[in-house]
């Protein structure tokens, strides 16, 4: 059967697939494209990712807002919304964990790891596609924020600086989530394991209420919470104030988390196999 031979066989000379570092970008983009296609085909996932932060805005602005005062801010919205932006992009990082766990349980990671591709591109492609998802949700969020009366009072440069910081911080967290997704055994576990700890992280912070209103024993925790630092920095920038040391501290956290967890996730990936 010649058709069989032609389609299925080949001389061994063709087996030398070019590999190496220069394929990192190509392979990452190929993987990112796979996720972006999937994203386009299930827009309902994107919708749910957007509904939750909108709910938070409505809840805090209209329900709790009247009871909360933020010193230094005459309008609570100006205080609150940068915190919700930060929480939204951070929550979105859990898509990385869920997506990787899904690929892992379906045996897709096994297949990818058996290909002559640049191996780490699987993680880079995944985290990158989640940044794109984040951009879409963030844009919707920003629209809602303006609709309820939030205004950017800083300069354009300050606003851009704040937004870039938010995305850098969320990207760093994607690598924590990559480690989570590769470590747990199922999509369901990834769902909880990627999410639960982010509630105390984002609520025991300055995002919704000033740290000074918390009980004394909780204040030092909230103050040193990296999420507080990022929120403070972006809040200052969006409101046209000086973020002070919070800005470079926030960047240090983002870079530190990305480096440490990037390394850990990459290591985990090198031995990750489906069930």
Partner 1 sequence: MPAVIAEGLVKSFGNTKALCGVDFDVERGQILGVLGPNGAGKTTAVRILTTLLRPDAGRAEIDGIDVLEEPQRARARIGLTGQYAAVDESLSGHENLEHVARLYHMGTAVARERATELLERFDLLDAGSRVVKGYSGGMRRRLDIAMSLIARPSVLFLDEPTTGLDPRSRQSVWALIDELVRGGTTTLLTTQYLDEADRLADDIVVIDRGRAIARGSSEELKQQIGGELIEVELEDPGDAQRVIDVLGHHACGDPHVADDGRTVSLPVFRVEGLVPVAVRELDTAAIAVHDVAARRATLDDVFFALTGHAAEEGSTDGQDNGADGSDDGAADRSQAGGPGDGRAASGGDQVVVEEAVLQETERS
Binding site for partner 1 (CB under 8 A): 1, 3-5, 7-10, 12, 14-19, 23, 26-27, 30-31, 33-34, 37-38, 41-42, 106-108, 110-117, 271, 273-275
Q: Give min distance, CB of 183 to partner 1, in A.
A: 15
Which CB sits closer to partner 1, 113 or 241?
Answer: 113
Q: Give min distance, CB of 62 to partner 1, in A.
A: 37
CA–CA separation, 83 vs 169, rounded Å? 13
**Residue length of the chain:** 275
Which CB sits closer to partner 1, 12 or 156?
Answer: 12
Which CB sits closer to partner 1, 3 or 74?
Answer: 3
Which CB sits closer to partner 1, 210 or 274?
Answer: 274
Q: Give min distance, CB of 8 to partner 1, in A.
A: 5
Check: CB of residue 250 under 8 Å from CB of residue 86: no
Q: Give min distance, CB of 238 to partner 1, in A.
A: 36
Which CB sits closer to partner 1, 7 or 63?
Answer: 7
Which CB sits closer to partner 1, 30 or 139?
Answer: 30
Q: Give min distance, CB of 152 to partner 1, in A.
A: 36
Q: Give min distance, CB of 67 to partner 1, in A.
A: 44
């Amino acid at each position: 059967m010649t058709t069989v031979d032609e389609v299925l066989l080949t001389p061994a000379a063709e087996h030398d697939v070019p590999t190496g570092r220069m394929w990192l970008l190509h392979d990452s983009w190929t993987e990112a494209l796979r996720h972006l296609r999937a994203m386009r085909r299930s827009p309902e996932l994107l919708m749910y990712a957007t509904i939750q932060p909108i709910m938070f805005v409505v809840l805090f602005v209209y329900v709790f807002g009247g009871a909360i005062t933020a010193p230094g801010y005459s309008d609570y919205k100006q205080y609150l919304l940068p915190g919700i932006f930060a929480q939204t992009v951070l929550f979105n990082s859990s898509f990385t964990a869920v997506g990787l766990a899904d690929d892992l349980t379906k045996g897709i990671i096994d297949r990818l790891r058996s290909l002559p591709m640049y191996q780490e591109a699987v993680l880079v492609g995944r985290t990158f596609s989640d940044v794109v998802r984040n951009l879409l949700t963030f844009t919707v969020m920003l629209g809602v924020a303006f609709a309820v009366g939030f205004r950017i009072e800083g300069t354009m440069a300050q606003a851009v600086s704040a937004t870039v910081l938010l995305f850098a911080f969320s990207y760093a967290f994607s690598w924590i989530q990559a480690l989570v997704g590769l470590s747990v055994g199922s999509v369901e576990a990834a769902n909880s394991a990627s999410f639960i700890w982010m509630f105390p992280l984002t609520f025991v912070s300055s995002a919704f209420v000033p740290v000074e209103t918390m009980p004394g024993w909780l204040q030092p925790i909230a103050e040193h919470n990296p999420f507080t630092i990022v929120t403070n920095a972006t809040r200052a920038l969006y409101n046209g104030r000086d973020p002070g040391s919070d800005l470079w501290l926030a960047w240090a956290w983002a870079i530190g988390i990305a480096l440490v967890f990037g390394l850990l996730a990459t290591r985990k990936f090198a031995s990750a196999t489906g069930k």
